[in-house]
Amino acid sequence: MATIQKQRTKLLSNLRLSSESNPSCRSNQEVADQISKTLISSGCNSLQPTSSLLSNLDSEAAHLVLSNPALKTRTCVDFFNFLNRSQTFASYKHDLRAYLTLICRLFKDRRFAAAKNILISAVLNEHLNCRVSIVASLVESCCTESWMHGKLLDMLFRVYAESNKCEEALETFDYMKSIGLNIDERSCTFCLLALKRSDQVDSALGFFLRMLKSDVKISVFSLTIVVDALCKRGDITRAKELIEEMGRRGVEPNVVTYNSLIDAYLKRGDFQQVNEILNLMVRKGVVPNVRTYTFLIDGFSSSGKIHEAERVFKEMKSTGVEADIYVYTSLIGGHCRVGNIRKAFQLFDELTERGLSPTAHTYGSLISGLCKVGQMNAAMTLINDMQSKGIDLNEVIFNTLMDGYCKQKMMDEALKLQVLMEKKGLVVDVFTYNTMASGLCKSNRSNEAKTLLLSMTERGVSPNTVTCTTLIDIYCKEGDMVEARRVFRDMEKMGVEYSTVTYNALIDGYSKKENMKDANKLRDEMEERGFMPDVYTYTSLIHGHSVQGKVEEALKLFNEMPERGLQRNVVTYAAMISGLSKAGRSDEAFRLYDEMIEAGLKPDDSVYSSLVGSLHTAGS
DNA sequence: TTAGGGTTAG
């Protein structure tokens, strides 16, 4: 041991002496030889960042060392990393050739994982010019064996894709194609995924078609990535066309592909199409899996169709598919949404007994359910429970709790949570602001809500559809239709999307001002833009027409609702009954009263006073 | 050594 140490010291001093004696005259080859000698005899550890020999190092000398066949690859990697770590020589930094020289050595030794890591660090290094043409020509000159050439380009293709450098990945694909290389489908899937990740759906589809044209052997994997990207954008028709087209080419969809379609139709609320896909799966012999059931249960749950969700859950169990934590969480969420807290907790016990571990999402669903019914103490107990299990609180849980307190008009508690949230380093996001604003509105503090929403941008949080809709709603309730319209116009300028609720807020504003002309105009506009009027739209319009004594208009809308699959609620009936009563059509008003009782709705005071009033009107 | 999932605001 002592001898090695002695040797090392001697070598080092030699290195220093010889280089210091006449540094400028040393050729790159001499520098490289000296470094190589040191590396061979005593390894990388003997090198000092301050060694003056190293200060003579340039790109050419480094290349000579890294490609020296007398050195082991391992030693070259150490030397490479040593130089990377040593920030002291500002004059030398690895260039792209150094990276590729080393990568080629690793390739020769079939150490592909190590090669890939270095390639990734090159691609991510901002100081290197990793343009495809430059890398490709270097690959050309560094690869001594022909098999390496194609494999290295393939790796480059994947690395670009995985680093989200889609443009470069596509360029690499084109280059590989142009020199006649066969391209592996699996590498292409990385590129498709990268495009999908960055929401470049059209490019993903375009690339897929290029794969087809380039005779890449395509499997259901690539198809499914594109189908899912299209589905998530709501382009289900195009997705189905693609599936059919690929079917003609012999690529059949599998359960994953169908799941994407089912999820998309569920999100759209198109249960008929969901059934058609399920039937198609049966015909094709494709068996639903646990994810299919999760999509179904979640889809039904979020539309409040809890009985359907339960039916699917039972069916899943009967087919022998084991429920996992996702299934339970979705179903718990469904029960919580309709206020069925008891059933939700039963399921929670069931999953625990079955050895499944609840996640933050599971707790989130339960906490949200408790907050909805105002059981804030129980919600806080659950918070303690989850923390004792080592599950961290996240932004969503905080926002949920804050909303719970807001709904109870306990704004101080909500505010305390916001402070705690920030103290914990969690991000106060657009949900937090919208929730707080909604709470302030409920507590009749809409001026503060306005100020809060208008200050969001300065605090670095971008307003979204809900923010703008809330603002519009505040102005409408104040009767300030000019300001409400201004926000509505600004949304388009800011690129914030409208929603049915946005239109509802404005329509309600105009209806309350008895400006039915503008209210009707907006209703037409929303349908033209593809936003379906819902029970709120209809109720606002019915109310507006009724107040103006235009009962026939109101009745027309009222009768239209079931045709469009819309369930009337207490407020809808109240508005219609009030309209009929005022017009002295007492019999019809009472008939509707019976109807709403039959539908299981509980009339409120306004319904009774309308009905009583109708007797007077009719009597006079 | 490639594809699909669950919680929040109007």
Per-residue pLDDT tens over the stretch A380-439 = 999 999 999 999 999 999 999 999 999 999 999 999 999 999 999 999 999 999 999 999
Run of H or E residues at A376: helix A376-388
Overall average pLDDT of the A518-547 stretch: 94
Overall average pLDDT of the A564-589 stretch: 92
Query: Does A147 have pLDDT greater than 50?
Result: yes
What is the pLDDT at residue A265? 95
Query: Does A189 have pLDDT greater than 70?
Result: yes
Whether the full predicted model's pTM is greater than 0.75, yes or no, is yes
pLDDT digits (tens, 9 = 90+) for A75-87: 999 999 988 887 6
Work out the pLDDT band at A165, boundaries 50, 70, 90.
very high
Q: What is the DSSP letter of A373?
A: T
Q: How large is the C-alpha radius of gyration of chain A?
A: 34
| Structure-token match 């004059």, residue found | A91
What is the pLDDT at residue A19? 42
Nucleotide B4: closest residue by CA–C1': A256
Nucleotide nearest to A358 (CA to C1'): B6
- Separation in Å: B1 C1' and A221 CA: 13
Task: Locate A354 and state its tokens.
Answer: 């079955």
- Options 1.10.3720.10, 1.10.10.60, 3.40.50.2300, 1.25.40.10; which CATH number does A534-620 get? 1.25.40.10
Whole-angstrom Cα distance, residue A26 to residue A517? 90
C-alpha dist (Å) from residue A445 to A147, A398, A469, A487, A586:
72, 22, 17, 20, 40
What is the pLDDT at residue A10? 46
Asked if the domains A182-287 and A534-620 are classified in one and the same CATH topology, the answer is: yes
- C-alpha angle A19-A23-A27 in degrees, rounded to nearest 5: 95
Give me the percent of chain A exceeding a pLDDT of 90.
Answer: 80
* SS3 (DSSP) at A16: helix
Q: How many helices (H) and strands (E) does chain A have?
A: 35, 0
- Separation in Å: B4 C1' and A31 CA: 56
DSSP state letters, A419-478: HHHHHTT----HHHHHHHHHHHHHTT-HHHHHHHHHHTGGGT----HHHHHHHHHHHHHH
What is the pLDDT at residue A14? 44
Whole-angstrom Cα distance, residue A277 to residue A510? 42
Q: Are A607 and A577 in contact (CB under 8 A)?
A: yes
Q: What is the DSSP letter of A356?
A: P
Domain boundaries, chain A: 182-287, 463-532, 534-620
Nucleotide nearest to A505 (CA to C1'): B10
Nucleotide nearest to A220 (CA to C1'): B3
C-alpha dist (Å) from residue A48 to A8, A28, A40, A51, A218:
11, 19, 15, 5, 53
What is the pLDDT at residue A43? 84
Overall average pLDDT of the A546-551 stretch: 93
Nucleotide nearest to A442 (CA to C1'): B10
Instruction: Tell me the residue ranges of DSSP E strands in A55-157.
Output: none
Nucleotide nearest to A434 (CA to C1'): B9
pLDDT digits (tens, 9 = 90+) for A297-352: 999 999 889 999 999 999 999 999 999 999 999 999 999 999 999 999 999 999 99
Q: Are A473 and A505 in contact (CB under 8 A)?
A: yes
Q: For chain A, what is the mean pLDDT?
A: 91
DSSP state letters, A551-567: HHHHHHHHHHHHHTTPP
Nucleotide B2: closest residue by CA–C1': A186
What is the pLDDT at residue A26? 73
- Separation in Å: B7 C1' and A142 CA: 52
Give me the percent of chain A exceeding a pLDDT of 70.
Answer: 95
DSSP state letters, A236-273: HHHHHHHHHHHHHTT----HHHHHHHHHHHHHHT-HHH
- Separation in Å: B2 C1' and A194 CA: 12
What is the pLDDT at residue A11? 42
What is the pLDDT at residue A7? 47
What is the pLDDT at residue A45? 81
Nucleotide nearest to A294 (CA to C1'): B5
- Separation in Å: B1 C1' and A222 CA: 15
CATH architecture of the region A182-287: Alpha Horseshoe (1.25)
* SS3 (DSSP) at A142: helix
- Separation in Å: B1 C1' and A334 CA: 37
pLDDT digits (tens, 9 = 90+) for A2-33: 444 454 444 444 444 344 444 455 788 998 99
Q: Given phi > 0 = left and psi -120 to 50 = alpha, else beta, which region is A305?
A: beta
- Separation in Å: B9 C1' and A4 CA: 69
What is the pLDDT at residue A15? 41
Whole-angstrom Cα distance, residue A74 to residue A80? 10
- C-alpha angle A31-A33-A39 in degrees, rounded to nearest 5: 105
Query: Does A471 have pLDDT greater than 60?
Result: yes
Chain B bases under 7 Å from protein CB? 1-10
